[in-house]
Amino acid sequence: MLAHIFPGQGSQTPGMGQEVYEFSFVAKSKFEKANDILGFRLSDIMFRGTAEELKETRVTQPAIFIHSVALAMFMSEEHKPDMMAGHSLGEFSALVASKAISLDSGIRLVNLRAQAMHRACQDSDGTMAAVLKLDDKTVEDVCNQVGGIVVPANYNSPGQLVISGERNAVEKAAELLKEAGGRAIILNVAGAFHSELMKPAYEELAEAIKNTDFDEPFCPVYQNVTASATTDPKKLQQNLIDHILSPVKWVETVNNMIADGAKEFQEIGPGKILQGLVRKIDPSVEVDSISTIPKPEE
């Protein structure tokens, strides 16, 4: 069984999506739709912008989203996947690619998500840290011991868990985790994603998601909040609302997909981050990253 997985923020790169745009009329129409809805030429920044320009909040999330979705829609015309999942932002890509929500709705929600999270970051002093070489329980226990807001945010792979919260609390937790024998690396991020500090963004986005039409997807979608599959539009909607304040259960998600029959994973969109995580979770499965239109075999 084939699983499509979609990357989150941090996968952007200059020139992203240009080959997809130029090769496929179907894909090109998706990029142009995003340009129209956003009110600026996102595709121009993706194709010719600098790395710094791609880091702008209004650009990063929509760019990764539309690159992933346009490519997925082109590929699924011939080979529909049996299941889908996305990492954080990538969940929006999965929901559009599976036809649970429309492309227009996806673009508007991702744009709102980017702007709302940017405002929440400006209103708080938060950060995140990648913790390596420790088991999840040790990291969770340390987070519980530290005063202030610091929580597990991304369960990425065995021995790699990202924590998030108030800067002082994250820095204190990082020191304690180093003392426990792990590595803790403060990340260069705008704020504390998937923590309580995103509450203002949650409230703003929740209202928009409630007003979005959800349909039954053509394949099960495994969501970050539960790590389990569903095709129920109401569950898809509620889980998407909850995801901004909840941890990304990526290890559990991948393991559940494998348990349900996934033999091949394809990361659809820019970068190879998820490909690496899947290999760490289960080296026995086949995994590849696809960032452009596959060239026909000669």
Active-site pick, 24, 43, 88, 164: 88
Nearest CA among 149, 124, 109 for reference residue 244:
109
CATH of region 2-121+196-290:
3.40.366.10
Report pTM: 0.94
The pLDDT of residue 298 is above 50: no
| 67 among known catalytic residues | no
Is 87 annotated as catalytic?
A: no
Dist. CA 155–CA 125, nearest whole Å: 23
| Average pLDDT of the residues in 189-213 | 93
Provide the token pair at 167.
């800067």
Nearest to 278 by CA among 260, 258, 248: 258
Q: Which of 153-162, 187-196, 289-298 has the highest average model confidence (pLDDT)?
A: 153-162
Q: Average pLDDT for residues 193-220, to the nearest whole number?
A: 96
- pLDDT class for 72, splitting at 50, 70, 90? very high
DSSP string across the chain: -EEEEE--TT---TTTTHHHHHH-HHHHHHHHHHHHHHTS-HHHHHHH--HHHHTSHHHHHHHHHHHHHHHHHHHTTT---SEEEESTTHHHHHHHHTTSS-HHHHHHHHHHHHHHHHHHHHTS-EEEEEEESS-HHHHHHHHHHSSSSEEEEEEEETTEEEEEEEHHHHHHHHHHHHHTT-EEEE---SS-TTSGGGHHHHHHHHHHHHTS-----SS-EE-TTT-SEE--HHHHHHHHHHTTTS-B-HHHHHHHHHHTT--EEEEESS-SHHHHHHHHH-TTSEEEEE-SPPPPP-
Arithmetic mean of pLDDT, 149-175: 96
Please compute, for residue 285, the number of CA atoms within 13 A of its CA located in the half-sphere on the CB side: 26
d(CA 267, CA 257): 14
**pLDDT value for 26:** 84
Q: What is the pLDDT of residues 277-297, one digit of tens each?
A: 999 999 999 999 999 887 654
Q: What percent of the chain has a predicted confidence (pLDDT) above 90?
A: 84
Indicate the pLDDT class of residue 240, thresholds 50, 70 and 90.
very high
For domain 125-186, give the fold. Answer: Alpha-Beta Plaits (3.30.70)
Q: Which residue has the higher pLDDT, 88 or 191?
A: 88
> Which position among 93, 194, 243, 291 bears the catalytic label?
194
What is the per-residue pLDDT for 69? 95
Q: How high is the mean pLDDT of the chain? A: 93
Spans of all domains in the chain: 2-121+196-290, 125-186
Q: What average pLDDT does the segment 47-57 reach?
A: 89
Instruction: Please compute the mean of the pLDDT values over residues 183-207 and round it to a whole number.
Output: 92
